[in-house]
Structure 1
């Protein structure tokens, strides 16, 4: 996952520049509070993590609803 420090958005690894502000993206090993995912969800906090995934509390930006986002670990995310 890559992250834009300017707009606080996360993008897939194949992105090289931020589509919003054309800034450089950096690799992020995990989500952090304030990150915006897919332009819809703001990460609030990490709830927990295990051997397969990490779970984060997030807020839907348009509706204000609180939800959980599960981020599967990199070893399981690739189909090797």
Structure 2
């Protein structure tokens, strides 16, 4: 399962910068759910977009199919093996 929470603070000006992300930010402390404040650079609160995906991983129940170093076999396409 993966949970993706998108930034909830906007700079109030830019709609789509070249990097497609610098116009939004996460709260400077806390979370959207705890009403954490937006940083001064991105003062406008926007609704939270939360995306959750659950995969059927029963095809991987046999530990013999997993890497021999003991790591788990699931890796993001960009190389992240931890999900952090």
Query: Scaled by the length of structure 1, what TM-score is found?
Result: 0.30
- Which one has the largest radius of gyration? 2
Higher strand proportion: 1
Higher-RCO chain (CA-CA 8 Å, sequence separation at least 6): 2
